[in-house]
Amino acid sequence: MLHKTFCALVILSCFIVFPIAAQDIDFQNWSAGVNTVQPSVAIIGQLHVESFGAIGDGIADDTQAFRAAFTYARDHDLSSIDLSSGRKYKISGQIDIDYRGQGQLERRGIQLNGNGASIFLAVKNGDRGYYAFNILTDPRPQQNTKFNINNVWFYTDNQSRPNGVHNSFGNFVTLSNCVFYQLATAVFFEYAGMCRFDNCYFWGCVEGIRAYRCKDSYIDGCHAFACDKAYTIEGINNAGSDGNVCIVNSVGNGSTQYNLRMKGLYTPMIANCVFEQSPMNLSIESCQFGKLSNVFSGPGDIEFVSTGTDLTNDYWNIANLDAQGKVELNGLKFSNVTGFKVHGVGSANNIANAAVILNNCNEVNFAALTIRDSRDRLAWSMVVSPNCSSITISNLIADRSLLLKGAINQRQGLFLLSVSIINGNVSTDDKKYKRTEIFEYLDSGNGTFHSNKPVNR
């Protein structure tokens, strides 16, 4: 009987795990050690960062676990990595999602499923400039990759301020339902294509989204709040290679420098957006074949910038723009502007003392334009510089006069104003007009109808 009891105890002891005393464990060193350990059993399908030693308590450093997970997924052709809901992962260095040297990837890539988890970007060894995730592929055109990062909250302590996600040459990359809080550059994509940013929030970052020489990309339902630069999208104006960029249904507000800047793009589109509370809400430089529709801007200025006679803003369609700030149109050519309302313009930082300023514009048609003088008593509703020509304006309502700058031998002329109501008049510097400057408008101040249209025309 005693022999049987002894055997039973021996067998039972094989299934008992005796706990290790907590004081015998250096938790952080232990987690760093196991992060480099490969799983003992091959993983099929989705994998978890916990399989590589991630703790997710916001204290232990999970950097090596993330690196090992992405390397394992790449080397074993796995398509997704999962984070655990509610976990707070801490990383202190760059996580390279490195698919260089893989040849043409043919739709390979990885999806990181955040599941509502958060990632704290700490600083180690003074490295404040790293990216949480750095996507690297070979510099091949139309690289058929697919990387997705979704439902993750990235944040810092507002002192370290590392960066969020960087993508170089990787196409078909999507960021969705992510929050970037108080980072330096939240997102930086370069030489990429067919990328999307969906329902992402950028809060208090130095830069929200920065894209350079990307094409066929889409920003939808994003919100940038209190950043220095909310959205920056740049190319080099190279006849279509950098372009087909859309920003729709998005918001930028409270930026200290600008909410949206586009430069050197072909076929950009801005639709159904709100930009406000920034010194410069919208800046467009040397972009062509663009479309801007259903945009509210205010308070803050709008500018179209031309960097030369050959790099102008050609072939734009602007419709239903409500601007609460100065609008300066430089180098706008061969374009149509309809349903345009400007109001709330101040005289501060406004050398022309006008709500709308035209410079180096050619063959631009304005229709249904309303210019209100609701903040300061500006000198002019609109100022047209001497280097503008072939400007037509119809159905204008303006609270102040219009000024055609330059003496008669300087102005190019070809200016037509019709079916309009102006509280004031149309003036020139020398009080003379060219034969090609035709006006028909009603002065709302005294009810007088003005027309210099020749009878024989």
Q: Which of 32-41, 149-158, 197-206, 424-433 shows the lowest per-residue confidence on average (mean pLDDT)?
A: 32-41
Beta strands (DSSP E) in 286-423 are 291-297, 301-305, 313-314, 317-323, 327-330, 332-342, 354-359, 362-371, 380-384, 389-398, 402-404, 415-422
The pLDDT of residue 2 is 41
- In terms of pTM, does the model score above 0.75? yes
Split at pLDDT 50, 70, 90, the class of 413 is: confident
Per cent of the chain over pLDDT 70 is 85
The whole-chain average pLDDT of the chain stands at 87
The pLDDT of residue 107 is 58
Q: Could you tell me which residue, 162 or 109, shows the higher pLDDT?
A: 162
State yes or no: pLDDT of 118 exceeds 90.
yes
Chain segment 323-336, per-residue pLDDT in tens = 999 999 999 999 99
The pLDDT of residue 103 is 62
The sign of the torsion formed by the CA atoms of 36, 40, 46, 49 equals negative
Question: Whole-angstrom distance between the N-terminal and C-terminal Cα of the chain?
Answer: 126
The pLDDT of residue 282 is 98
The pLDDT of residue 20 is 30
Whether residue 284 contacts residue 304, with contact meaning beta carbons closer than 8 Å, is answered with yes
The pLDDT of residue 32 is 39
State yes or no: pLDDT of 11 exceeds 50.
no
Query: CA-to-CA distance for 295 and 284, rounded, in angstroms?
Result: 14
The pLDDT of residue 36 is 43
| pLDDT mean over 376-403 | 95
Chain segment 278-317, per-residue pLDDT in tens = 999 999 999 999 999 999 999 999 999 987 666 789 999 9
Whether residue 120 contacts residue 132, with contact meaning beta carbons closer than 8 Å, is answered with no
* Cα separation values, 51 from 10, 79, 112, 241, 289, Å: 32, 16, 15, 43, 50
Chain segment 30-58, per-residue pLDDT in tens = 233 433 445 544 555 579 999 999 999 99
The pLDDT of residue 145 is 75
Q: Could you tell me which residue, 364 or 14, shows the higher pLDDT?
A: 364
